[in-house]
Amino acid sequence: MNEKKIIGYTSGVFDLFHIGHLNILRNAKSLCDFLVVGVTTDEVTLDMKGHLPIIPFSERIQIVESIEFVDKAIPKSTKAIEDIWNIYEFNIMIKGDDWKGTNKGNNLEKELAEFGIKIKYLPYTEHTSSTILRNIISNFDKTFS
């Protein structure tokens, strides 16, 4: 009997890599046989968030591809999830539960439903985030300017 492998997909900027990133990747891998991780490029990050990451893309993707839970790290150079699905045909998408019930999460669920894909939400690590770290760095710089 030949069982179909479950391909999981998750993505992120993975700037200022921290325990929340590691938790998502570890837990995502537990849900699939093969984990594809999209690392958002600098250009797409600037478009989505209005600022560049602190750590450049070339370094962020090296970090992510070095993690044992990640089977394949790819550049996420588009916001269109369909483009990524057309290449990797993932069965599930994994997101932090901070997306659940939000406009962006609901829209993504509808988009993925067209391909028969459901989102698995994993607990978001609230006490640590790149946004919090970025704010601390920004405030630190202001203190010593």
**Which regions of the chain are under pLDDT 50?**
1
The CATH number, out of the four listed (3.40.50.620, 3.30.70.100, 2.60.40.10, 3.30.930.10), of the domain defined by the range 7-143: 3.40.50.620
Sheet of 92-96, strands arranged across: 72-76, 34-40, 7-12, 92-96, 118-122
| E-only strand ranges, the chain | 7-12, 34-40, 72-76, 92-96, 118-122
> Which residues, at least 6 apart from 143, have a Cβ–Cβ distance to it below 8 Å?
none
C-alpha span between 94 and 92 (Å, rounded): 7
The model's pTM: 0.86
Percent of the chain at pLDDT above 90?
67
Helix (H, G, I), strand (E, B) or coil at 94: strand
